[in-house]
Amino acid sequence: MKKNPPITLGITGGTGSGKTTIAEEIVRVLGPDKSVLIHQDSYYLDHGRLPADARARVNFDHPRAFDWKLLKRHLRALRGGRSIERPIYNFHTHCRMDETIAIAPRPVVIVEGILVFDDPDLRGMMDIKVYVDADADVRFIRRLERDMRDRGRSLESIVEQYLTTVRPMHLQFIEPTKRYADIIVPEGGHNRVALEAIIARMRAML
């Protein structure tokens, strides 16, 4: 008897919207034996051949910044019951590391990232699509805190990047993908009612 493919949940939204919070909470509740989380951020293209100053100027919020071919190949593998070697991206150097992380298939596969609804092939593999919404000022503050804390960036560089690429790319590429969502979650990761409803739905499908 052929085994059913895993349930694939796509979660998107603007940077700092709370999508990672929701994705990680779903994994925590379902358990690592039932679910696995794939971050689109792991699939940035490797910019190791560029000079350091040129790497910092890459538009990381544009669809061209991602290795779509590898991400889709890995998702197909997980859906087919096969393990993958997920890349590790270094946000300080803007390079892909030599090491990888082995990821085994699970009954629920969650794909999370700012542009996971942008590619129609990737979108077509998702059983449930969730768009996490949050006000622009809230998203900017969260990004500011994260980049200063986790990525060692200066206030000036974060503000410049937000104004030149993050905000324009959000309006051009991310916000429009809201129309593909089955569920829109306002107030980001703090919306417990929406989160519990998504988890209840996942449990029912399992």
Per-residue confidence (pLDDT) for residue 85, from 0 to 100: 98
**Interval 25-64: pLDDT, tens:** 999 999 999 999 999 999 999 988 888 788 878 899 999 9
**Per-residue pLDDT, 2:** 54
Per cent of the chain over pLDDT 70 is 99
Q: Classify residue 121 by its DSSP letter.
A: H
Nearest residue to 8 via CA among 86, 89, 78: 78
> d(Cα 102, Cα 55) in Å, to the nearest integer?
27
Q: Is residue 148 part of a domain?
A: yes
Find the domain containing 108 and state its range.
Answer: 7-205
Residue 82 in tokens: 């096969």
Is residue 57 in some structural domain?
yes
CATH number at residue 185: 3.40.50.300
- CB contact set of 98 (below 8 Å; sequence gap of 6+): none
pLDDT above 90 covers a percentage of the chain that reads 67
Residue 1 has pLDDT above 50, yes or no: no
| Total number of domains constituting the chain | 1
Judge whether residue 201 has pLDDT over 50: yes
Amino acid present at 166: V
**169 domain residue, yes or no:** yes
SS3 186: coil
Is there a domain that residue 1 lies in?
A: no
- pLDDT tens-digit series, residues 130-156: 999 988 888 988 888 988 888 778 888
The rounded distance, in Å, linking the Cα atoms of 149 and 92 is 12
